[in-house]
């Protein structure tokens, strides 16, 4: 640690949806932030308001190449996280997860930094256990269209635990469930941004399958709180730990709630279900509750109202 309680913290993928909120929160705590992003899915818009802060530094860099910096902690968030983006260049997606993890773990080993890996509920695949506890090994197709992301993240977890066992590295692994909020990429194809934008534009709202598949939606502020609490735990807490909201909703319920909030005239239309799309997704969060004292606080309607306000402003600026 540098001086007092101030830490120099590296956040890869720091200009992304989650990364920008994490940068903001840690800056508010008084830390120095090195934000690294290659801007494949991240945006300068997300961090523009932070650039004048003397404790914030932005570096354009791809984590598939080594990085030589001096830091106290590392949050490894770099990787496209929506199907549209991670399927655009699936080989690069796997490289980002696997080689990126190797490079960040190597950096953490060299500078003796604590390191957190942003993993995903996608490691559970199309689950046969519901809700999904951390002990569940998953039901994943290793050769499908989503595998570049699912298996890349699974391999990254393997690397983290091997570095922990072999090199005694201080690691934290968090499995993120569906997260939403301001600064979501408008064209990422994710269900919340898709439905909100279609509703605001008065377009038909596209549901896949019959809309009965379920997701659990966690507001971004709650998720970031979970990240920081996990990073602040002692070496005995490694994870993996599920961070997500256990409130389960069908996609059709989500669409109807968005229509209600926006007073949209949009109609629901149905399309075939994409391959390997999970039927249900719900986190079992007793470990987060016990180890971190964490549970989500923002209800879906409240979080959607904030998210809709963000996208209304975005559409007005890009009209």
For 56-113, how does the pLDDT look when each residue is reduced to its tens digit (9 = 90+)? 999 999 999 999 999 999 999 999 877 777 788 899 999 999 999 999 999 999 999 9
d(CA 166, CA 184): 37
The pLDDT of residue 140 is above 70: yes
The two structure tokens encoding residue 26: 């840690």
d(CA 240, CA 161): 10
- Closest by CA to 152, choosing from 232, 230, 96, is 96
Average pLDDT for the chain: 94
The pLDDT of residue 4 is above 80: no
Strand pairing report for 241-243 and 205-208 = unpaired
Number of neighbouring beta carbons within 10 Å of residue 153? 28
Least confident residue range of 185-189, 222-226, 287-291:
185-189
Q: Enter the CATH code of domain 8-176+220-244+283-297.
A: 3.40.50.720
Portion of the chain with pLDDT greater than 90, in percent: 86
For 24, the 3-state DSSP assignment is helix
Task: Name the residue with higher pLDDT: 8 or 88.
Answer: 8
Portion of the chain with pLDDT greater than 70, in percent: 98
d(CA 114, CA 292): 17
pTM for the structure as a whole: 0.94
* Residues with active-site annotation: 149
Instruction: Sort 48 into a burial class: Cβ within 10 Å, 0-12 / 13-18 / 19+.
Output: exposed
d(CA 288, CA 308): 28
d(CA 117, CA 99): 13
């Amino acid at each position: 640690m540098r001086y007092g309680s101030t830490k120099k913290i590296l956040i890869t993928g720091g200009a992304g949806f989650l990364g920008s909120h994490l940068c903001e929160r840690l800056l508010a705590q008084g830390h120095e932030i090195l934000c690294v992003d290659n801007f494949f899915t991240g945006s300068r818009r997300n961090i523009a308001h932070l650039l004048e802060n003397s404790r914030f530094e932005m570096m354009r860099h791809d984590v598939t190449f080594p990085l030589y910096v001096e830091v106290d902690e590392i949050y490894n968030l770099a990787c496209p996280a929506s199907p549209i983006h991670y399927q655009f260049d699936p080989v690069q997606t796997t490289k980002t997860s696997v080689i990126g993890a190797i490079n960040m773990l190597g950096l953490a080993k060299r500078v003796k930094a604590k390191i957190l890996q942003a993993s995903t509920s996608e490691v559970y695949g199309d689950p046969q256990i519901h809700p999904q506890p951390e002990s569940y090994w998953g039901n994943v197709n290793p050769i499908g269209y989503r595998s570049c992301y699912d298996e890349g993240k699974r391999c990254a977890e393997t690397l983290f635990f091997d570095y922990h066992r072999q090199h005694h590295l201080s690691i934290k692994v968090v499995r993120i469930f569906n997260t939403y909020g301001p600064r979501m990429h408008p064209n990422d194809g994710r269900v919340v941004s898709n439905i909100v934008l279609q509703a605001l534009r008065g377009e038909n709202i596209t549901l896949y399958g019959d809309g009965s598949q379920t997701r659990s939606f966690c507001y971004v502020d709650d998720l970031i709180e979970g990240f920081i609490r996990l990073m602040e735990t002692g070496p005995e807490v490694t994870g993996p730990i599920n961070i997500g909201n256990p409130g389960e909703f069908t996609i059709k319920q989500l669409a109807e709630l968005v229509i209600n909030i926006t007073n949209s005239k949009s109609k629901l239309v149905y399309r075939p279900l994409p391959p390997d799309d999970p039927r249900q997704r719900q986190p079992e969060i007793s470990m987060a509750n016990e180890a971190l004292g964490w549970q989500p606080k923002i209800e879906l309607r409240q979080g959607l109202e904030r998210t809709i306000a963000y996208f209304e402003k975005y559409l007005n600026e890009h009209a």
